[in-house]
C-alpha cells in the first residue's frame, strides 16, 4: 500500500502497527461458546468455541476426551445453528464472550 506520490503510507513501524491494530479491532469477529448443562444443573462444560463474522460462523467442537473421537470445525450461518449438532433434549446455553 502506498501513499501520495508513491511513498509509504505510514511513517514508522509504530504507525503501521497502530493502524493495523485499529483495523483488526474494527473488523474482529465476536467470540462465543456453547455450554452444555447437566440435569439439575449438577455440572456444566464448554462444548463449542465459536467466532461470529458478519457473513457466517466458524465453530470448533473439541473432543470431550481422548476416547470420544476427534474434534471438528463447522462453518455455519448463525451461532444458533451450533445447537443443531446436539440432541434436542440437551440443555445448551449460548454465551457471548464479546458483547
CA–CA separation, 48 vs 34, rounded Å? 5
Q: What's the confidence (pLDDT) of residue 66?
A: 72
Q: What's the confidence (pLDDT) of residue 99?
A: 74
CA–CA separation, 5 vs 22, rounded Å? 25
Residue 48 in domain: yes
Nearest partner of 36 among 94, 79, 97, 78, judged by Cα: 94
**The whole model's pTM is what?**
0.79
Residue 3 in domain: no
Residue 1 in domain: no
Q: How many domains does the chain have?
A: 1
Q: What's the confidence (pLDDT) of residue 4?
A: 55
Residue 9 in domain: no
CA–CA separation, 99 vs 93, rounded Å? 16
Residue 80 in domain: yes
pLDDT digit string (tens) for the chain, length 99 residues: 445 556 678 889 999 999 999 999 999 999 999 999 999 999 999 999 999 999 999 999 998 777 778 899 999 999 999 999 999 999 999 999 987
Helices (H), 1-99: 13-26
Q: What's the confidence (pLDDT) of residue 5?
A: 57
Amino acid at each position: 500500500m502506498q501513499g501520495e506520490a508513491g511513498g509509504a503510507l505510514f511513517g514508522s513501524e509504530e504507525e503501521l502497527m497502530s493502524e493495523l491494530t485499529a483495523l483488526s479491532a474494527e473488523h474482529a469477529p465476536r467470540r462465543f461458546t456453547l455450554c452444555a448443562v447437566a440435569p439439575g444443573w449438577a455440572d456444566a462444560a464448554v462444548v463449542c468455541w465459536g467466532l461470529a463474522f458478519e457473513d457466517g460462523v466458524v465453530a470448533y467442537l473439541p473432543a470431550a476426551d481422548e476416547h470420544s473421537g476427534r474434534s471438528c470445525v463447522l462453518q455455519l450461518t448463525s451461532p444458533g445453528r451450533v445447537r443443531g449438532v446436539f440432541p434436542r433434549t440437551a440443555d445448551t446455553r449460548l454465551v457471548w464472550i464479546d458483547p
